[in-house]
Structure 1
Amino acid sequence: MAPIVLRDYQQQLLADLRAALKVHRRVCAVMPTGAGKGQTIGAIVQGAAGKGRRVLVLAHRAELIDQLTGTVRAWGLEPDVIAPGHQLQGRQVAVGSVQTVVRRLALLAAPDLIIQDEAHHLVAGNVWGRVINAWPQAHLIGKSATPERLDGKGLGVEAGGYFEALVLGPSAAWLVEQGWLARPRVFSWPGARNSKLRRRMGDFDLEEAARAFGDRAAIGDAVSHYRRRLRPGTAICFCCTTCHAEQMAAAFRSAGIRAASVSGSTPAEERKRLIAGLGTGEVEVLSSCMIISEGTDIPSVGGAILMRPTASLSLYLQMVGRALRPAPGKSEAVILDHVGNAHRHGLPTDEREWNLAGRRRREGVSIPIKDCPVCFCSCTSAAQVCPDCGHLFLTDERDEQRRGLQHVEGELVEVTGAARHRPKPKQQQQRPRRTHPAAGCRTFEELLQREHERGYKPGWARHVWAARQRSA
Structure 2
Amino acid sequence: MHPYQEKLAQDIRELIKHPNRALLFLPTGAGKTRVTVQALVHAFVEDGLTGPLLWIAQREELCEQAVQTWSAVWRQFGDRRPLRLCRLWSRNEVASSDDEVMVVIATNAKLDVCRDKDDYEWLSDPSVVVIDEAHEATGKDYTATLRWLGLDSRKTTRPLLGLTATPFKGTGEEANKRLAARFNNRLLDALGDDPYGILQAQGVLSRVEHRVLDGANVELDATETEYARKTGQLPQGALDRLGRDEARTLRLLDDIASLRDDWPVLVFTSSVLSAQVLAALLRVRGIDTAAVSGATRIQERRRSIEAFRAGSIRVLTNCNVLTQGFDAPSVRALYIARPTFSPNAYLQMVGRGLRGPANGGKKECLIVNVEDTFGQFGERLAYQKFDYLWERQGSRLR
TM-score computed with the length of structure 2 as normaliser? 0.79
Q: Shift in Å at residue 275 of structure 1?
A: 1.0
Equivalent of 1:318 in 313, 332, 348: 348
Equivalent of 1:330 in 355, 362, 368: 362
Q: Does 1:73 align with 2:71?
A: yes
Equivalent of 2:286 in 228, 237, 256: 256
Equivalent of 2:386 in 315, 326, 346: 346
2:29 match? 34
CA distance in 2, matches of 1:271, 1:184: 28
In structure 1, what residue type is equivalent to 2:110?
A: T
Instruction: Write out per-residue CA displacement over residues 155-202 of structure 1, whole angstroms, 9 at most, x where no aligned residue.
Output: 55697534330111431221111111211111114887x975444343
Q: Runs of 5+ in structure 1 lacking a partner?
A: 1-5, 351-368, 379-409, 413-472
Cα contact 1:184–1:333 (8 A) shared by 2: yes
Q: Does 1:183 align with 2:207?
A: yes
In structure 1, what residue type is equivalent to 2:212?
A: S
Pick closer, same or farther for the CA change 1:186–1:24 going to 2, 3 Å.
Answer: farther
CA distance in 1, matches of 2:302, 2:290: 12
In structure 2, what residue type is equivalent to 1:132?
A: L
Cα contact 1:156–1:162 (8 A) shared by 2: no
Q: Shift in Å at residue 286 of structure 1?
A: 0.9
Instruction: Write out per-residue CA displacement over residues 86-115 of structure 1, whole angstroms, 9 at most, x where no aligned residue.
Output: 231435321111111121124142112101
CA distance in 1, matches of 2:299, 2:110: 21
Pick closer, same or farther for the CA change 1:44–1:129 going to 2, 3 Å.
Answer: farther
Instruction: Write out per-residue CA displacement over residues 9-68 of structure 1, whole angstroms, 9 at most, x where no aligned residue.
Output: 211112234456677711001000011111112113313433233311101111111110
CA distance in 2, matches of 1:298, 1:43: 21
2:80 match? none
1:377 match? 394
CA distance in 1, matches of 2:55, 2:4: 22
Pick closer, same or farther for the CA change 1:342–1:377 going to 2, 3 Å.
Answer: farther
Q: How does 1:194-213 map to 2 (within 5 A)?
A: 196-197=219-220, 198-199=224-225, 200=227, 201-213=231-243
CA distance in 2, matches of 1:68, 1:158: 23
Pick closer, same or farther for the CA change 1:10–1:108 going to 2, 3 Å.
Answer: farther
Q: How does 1:110-125 map to 2 (within 5 A)?
A: 110-123=125-138, 125=139
2:168 match? 148
1:101 match? 111
Pick closer, same or farther for the CA change 1:45–1:94 going to 2, 3 Å.
Answer: farther
Cα contact 2:267–2:336 (8 A) shared by 1: yes
In structure 2, what residue type is equivalent to 1:94?
A: V
SS at match of 1:336: strand
Q: Does 1:411 align with 2:388?
A: no
**Higher percent of residues as strand:** 2
**Aligned residue-pair number:** 351
Equivalent of 1:60 in 58, 61, 68: 58
Q: Does 1:88 align with 2:84?
A: no
1:132 match? 146
Instruction: Write out per-residue CA displacement over residues 203-233 of structure 1, whole angstroms, 9 at most, x where no aligned residue.
Output: 1123213323544444981122123345430
SS at match of 1:133: helix
CA distance in 2, matches of 1:251, 1:296: 24
SS at match of 1:308: coil
Equivalent of 1:307 in 337, 353, 375: 337
Cα contact 1:219–1:411 (8 A) shared by 2: no
Q: Runs of 5+ in structure 2 lacking a partner?
A: 75-82, 152-156, 373-380
**Higher percent of residues as helix:** 2
CA distance in 2, matches of 1:127, 1:231: 45
Cα contact 2:171–2:342 (8 A) shared by 1: no
2:269 match? 239
In structure 2, what residue type is equivalent to 1:53?
A: T
Cα contact 1:29–1:169 (8 A) shared by 2: no
In structure 2, what residue type is equivalent to 1:129?
A: T
Equivalent of 1:167 in 185, 188, 191: 188
Question: Which structure ranks higher in relative contact order (CA pairs < 8 Å, sequence separation ≥ 6)?
Answer: 2
Cα contact 1:31–1:145 (8 A) shared by 2: yes
- Greater Rg by CA: 1
